[in-house]
């Protein structure tokens, strides 16, 4: 159960990160704060930064450094073409999964087509 | 003020521990990762967090470094069909060439320098004791002094060739190891 939970959370976390940077590049701290707004994800900095690194290695995201007025330069993450493909397919998989699970679990207002 | 944060001894210590934990990453990558965490600390403190809080949320420096190592492995370990085929191809290619290259270079690289050293000794002995049979250089019609000079020159060339072969062997082995490593990263 614990293993399943952590695998599921990782996958969801990846999806959330890709979705967050779909329309505009964001820097690490910005991503961390936004994910922190959903405490159910239980995504701490210690998980998110290494994950961002891997997304970069897999070339799902591109990065660039930009000076910040307030402090040291920030590393921005931008969705790559490969990342966009992954996001599009995972998003639809996720929506189908949620719909199917809601139907089975009985989310109250599960709407069957 | 946040610009100077990395000079704070607590932050400096955290970052240096973190950097030390990332020793398996290539240097350029390591610097970038450390810079990003440094930037995070500055942002979080500028947003109103206390330094102690911010560092606690990041977790101990060595654990954070291990999380990076674990992620890197996840990206690396996926044994795709393409990767297996590539590894098999590299191995087959190298085995075939190694079958020839390693024995030949090995022979030249080890035996030839030894023979050259022995040749020097034999030529010198031959010069001083012309009656003995030392297996030194023989040049028909040449006097003892000329034989010594020419023989020593030949030994020097032989030695250089042998060392060259040994260097080539070393470079070849290094290439082999590096190529196998690249298939998996």
pLDDT at B119: 87
**Among B1, B7, B25, B39, the residue to mutate for chain A (most A Cβ within 10 A):** B39
pTM above 0.90, yes or no: no
**Among B32, B36, B62, the residue to mutate for chain A (most A Cβ within 10 A):** B36
Nearest to B64 by CA among A51, A8, A91, A65: A51
Q: What is the mean pLDDT of residues B119-133?
A: 83
**Rounded Cα distance, A73 and B4, in Å:** 13
Interface check B26 vs A, CB under 8 A:
no
pLDDT at A76: 97
Cβ neighbours of residue B22 closer than 8 Å, sequence gap 6 or more: B30, B33, B34, B65, B68, B69
Q: ipTM score here?
A: 0.85
Interface check A102 vs B, CB under 8 A:
no
With cut-offs at 50, 70 and 90, classify the pLDDT of residue B32. very high
As a whole number of Å, the end-to-end CA separation of chain B is: 40
Counting one residue from chain A and one from chain B, the pairs whose CB atoms sit within 8 A come to 78
Question: Tokens representing B100?
Answer: 């020839």
For residue A63, which phi and psi values (nearest 5 degrees)? -130, 155
CB neighbour class for B109 (10 Å; exposed up to 12, middle 13-18, buried from 19): buried
- Please indicate whether, in this complex, the C-beta atoms of A32 and B40 are within 8 angstroms of each other: yes
Angle of CA points A86, A89, A95, to nearest 5°: 130
pLDDT at B1: 44
Q: What is the mean pLDDT of residues A56-73?
A: 90
Mean of per-residue pLDDT scores for chain B: 84
Q: Report pLDDT digits (tens) over B72-108.
A: 766 554 566 777 788 788 778 778 778 888 888 888 8
Is pLDDT above 70 for A24? yes
Q: Report pLDDT digits (tens) over B146-175.
A: 888 888 898 899 899 999 998 998 898 888
């Amino acid at each position: 159960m614990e293993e399943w939970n952590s695998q599921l959370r990782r996958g969801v976390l990846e999806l959330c990160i890709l979705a967050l940077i779909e329309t505009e590049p964001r820097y690490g701290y910005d991503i961390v704060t936004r994910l922190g707004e959903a405490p159910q994800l239980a995504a701490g900095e210690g998980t998110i930064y290494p994950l961002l690194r891997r997304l970069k290695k897999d070339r799902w995201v591109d990065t660039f450094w930009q000076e910040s007025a307030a402090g040291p330069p920030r590393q921005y993450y931008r969705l790559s073409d490969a990342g966009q493909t992954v996001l599009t397919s995972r998003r639809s998989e996720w929506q189908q999964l949620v719909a199917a699970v809601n139907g089975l679990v009985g989310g109250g207002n599960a709407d069957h087509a | 003020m946040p610009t100077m944060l990395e000079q704070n001894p607590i932050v400096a210590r955290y970052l240096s521990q973190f950097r030390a934990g990332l020793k398996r990453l290539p240097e350029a990558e390591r610097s970038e990762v450390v810079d990003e965490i440094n930037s995070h600390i500055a942002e979080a403190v500028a947003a109103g967090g206390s330094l102690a809080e911010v560092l606690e949320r990041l977790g101990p420096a060595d654990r954070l470094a291990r999380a990076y190592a674990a992620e890197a492995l996840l990206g690396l370990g996926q044994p795709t069909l393409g990767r297996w085929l590539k590894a098999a191809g590299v191995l087959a290619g190298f085995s075939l060439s190694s079958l020839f290259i390693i024995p030949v270079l090995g022979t030249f690289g080890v035996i030839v320098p030894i023979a050259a050293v022995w040749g020097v000794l034999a030529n010198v002995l031959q010069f001083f004791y012309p009656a003995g049979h030392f297996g030194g250089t023989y040049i028909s019609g040449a006097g003892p002094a000329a034989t010594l000079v020419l023989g020593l020159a030949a030994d020097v060339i032989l030695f250089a060739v042998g060392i060259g072969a040994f260097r080539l062997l070393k470079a070849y082995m290094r290439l082999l190891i590096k190529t196998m490593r690249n298939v998996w990263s």
